[in-house]
Structure 1
Amino acid sequence: MAGNSRPIDARGWKFEVEDANATSETWLPIAGTTTFTHNPGENEETVETTAFESEGMYEQDVMQRGASLSIEGQYRIDKATRAQDPGQLYIDSVWTDRLGFESRNRVRWRHETQTQWVVWDATVTPGEQGGGNNDKTSWSATFTRCGPSMTAEVVTP
């Protein structure tokens, strides 16, 4: 059925961060995203296992798997209240100040055509913000997965 398969639109991806301070499970959409990069090989570590019996052919084992997700976009505010987008604000003001074991938080994403979220326990590295004379202010963050990926069913209200 290759004739029926079609590429998906990049703008259909949704990204959310869990508000770990909420009393019940609360996910905050991250607004303003204009581009993202998922790197499933980030932080991978291998060890060479080539030996004489390899007969000159390289061999290796993967000893550590890792992954990262970078999102970039525009710094967003609510027009009425002037408050920063709740997802961006949580990342900028709550998550990025944490250290040690408290530096982890959950992040999730999916395409609008998918029925499951990819969920990571992760750390976050805030990105640069800036802009020029005729630009909108940029915003970005990079999430580094800690442990295995998980999934969660999409629940529609």
Structure 2
Amino acid sequence: MGRPIDARGWLFEVRDQSTYVERWLPIENLTSWTQNASENEETADTTSFDSAGWYEQDVMQRGGQIELEGQYALDSATGRQVVGQAYVDQYWGQRLGIDSRNEIRYRHNTQNTWVIWDATVTPDEQEGEVNDKTSWSATFTQCGRPRYESVFPICMERDAA
């Protein structure tokens, strides 16, 4: 029998498109996350007389959505919002049209493969009351087919020699 994994072990990062160097920014201070693997799924009813009274369908479109919630956090060294949250709020979340897409990747810390989505982001509510910490949240909607990338890319140069 398998062992359950901790929800706090999930890692989420966004790709920094403000630079030409590949750079992924961690989204820190998360307190909860939700993934809906069937968000935006569309089906076609294929039930016919031949179905003998049983429902049938084909999936015509797949989709997905990830909602992240956490605490608005400041970097102790700079006093500015932590980089992943700031990137979502101030850069990615302000872009429109063709520029509104970016990449998010995620995995559990026990896994050796990232799942990477081309996605759009909707920065969500920030709130708090007298004795609360300020909240932070964002919703990422999958665009197209996901891809997968090893955490530790295989060194091809050594094998080529």
Q: TM-score range by the shorter chain?
A: over 0.9
Q: Residue in 2 aligned with 1:78?
A: 75
User: What is the SS of the residue equivalent to 2:8?
Assistant: helix
5+ long unaligned stretches in structure 2: 154-161
Deviations 1:63-104 (A, max 9, x none): 100001111000010123210010000000000111111110
- Aligned-residue sequence identity (percent) comes to 58
C-alpha RMSD of the superposition: 1.1
Q: Counterpart amino acid of 1:111? A: H
2:45 is aligned with 1:59: no
2:19 is aligned with 1:22: yes
Deviation at 1:44, TM superposition (A): 0.3
Equivalent residue for 1:9, pick from 6, 15, 18: 6
Equivalent residue for 1:139, pick from 136, 141, 155: 136
Equivalent residue for 1:148, pick from 138, 145, 149: 145
Q: Counterpart amino acid of 1:80? A: A
Counterpart Cα distance in 2 of 1:78 and 1:55: 63
Counterpart Cα distance in 2 of 1:151 and 1:111: 13
- 1:60-139 equivalent positions in 2, closer than 5 A: 60-139=57-136
TM-score scaled by length of structure 1: 0.94
User: What is the SS of the residue equivalent to 1:91?
Assistant: helix
User: What is the SS of the residue equivalent to 1:70?
Assistant: strand
Equivalent residue for 1:47, pick from 41, 44, 47: 44
User: What is the SS of the residue equivalent to 1:94?
Assistant: helix
Counterpart Cα distance in 1 of 2:117 and 2:96: 18
Counterpart Cα distance in 2 of 1:113 and 1:55: 46
User: What is the SS of the residue equivalent to 1:118?
Assistant: strand
Q: How many residues are aligned here?
A: 153
Counterpart Cα distance in 2 of 1:34 and 1:155: 27
Deviations 1:27-76 (A, max 9, x none): 00001101000110000001111111111111111110000111100001
User: What is the SS of the residue equivalent to 1:42?
Assistant: coil
Structure 1 runs of 4+ with >6 Å offset: none
Q: Counterpart amino acid of 1:90? A: Y
2:35 is aligned with 1:38: yes
User: What is the SS of the residue equivalent to 2:128?
Assistant: coil
5+ long unaligned stretches in structure 1: none
User: What is the SS of the residue equivalent to 2:18?
Assistant: coil
